[in-house]
Amino acid sequence: MKKLLTALTVLALPAAAFAADNQPGVYVQGDAGLASIHADGETFNNFLPRVSVGYDAGDMRIAADYYRVRDKINDTTATLQGAGVGVIKDFNTNSIVKPYVGARLGLNRLKTEDYKKTKVGIGALGGVGFEVAPNVTLDLGYRFNYLGKFDDTRVFANEYTAGVRVKF
């Protein structure tokens, strides 16, 4: 019985995504890319995974996101992670291509073995979505995020990502 319920759930998820057919709704998005993090005159390039859950109202979206980046600097492991809320404006081009711009407010934590601080940050984002199927969009994006001032060091990131957004 458990296997049958699991199989039905797995089969129902894609059907639910296609059933909404351009109506407002909840979406999930997964992104991966490059985060170029700048601090104290140095640049650290890292793999960036990010997950978002949001609501698409047609030409406006609001989303909560989470990311985590790790790097080893001088034999010390540093972790930068954050959660935020973004507001995104989609531009209708009457085609499968939809450019967008937005803003983000987030909490960002920098942690090492002997240091841990959380700061408020702000960012701007833009990109383009390609609707490849009803309610499935491939996304190419750029984000500039000011992550905060940790001690006397301002930290910001340039993020280049690709992802998939599925609306239910």
Per-residue pLDDT reduced to its tens digit, 23-65: 899 999 999 999 999 998 899 999 999 999 999 998 999 999 9
**What is the pLDDT at residue 72?**
87
DSSP assignments along 73-129, one per residue: ETTEEEEEEEEEEEEEEE---SSSEEEEEEEEEEEEEEEETTEEEEEEEEEEEEEEE
**What is the pLDDT at residue 73?**
80
Give 131 or 7, the one with higher predicted confidence. Answer: 131
Helix (H) / strand (E) element for 51: namely strand 42-56
Q: How do residues 111-160 score in pLDDT, each as one tens digit?
A: 999 999 999 999 999 999 999 999 999 999 999 999 999 999 999 999 99
Q: How do residues 14-28 score in pLDDT, each as one tens digit?
A: 444 444 456 899 999
Q: How do residues 72-85 score in pLDDT, each as one tens digit?
A: 888 889 999 999 99
**What is the pLDDT at residue 19?**
41
**What is the pLDDT at residue 4?**
42
**What is the pLDDT at residue 74?**
82
**What is the pLDDT at residue 108?**
97
CA torsion angle 16 17 18 23 (round to 10) = 100
The pTM of this model reads 0.83
Q: Is 12's pLDDT higher than 50?
A: no
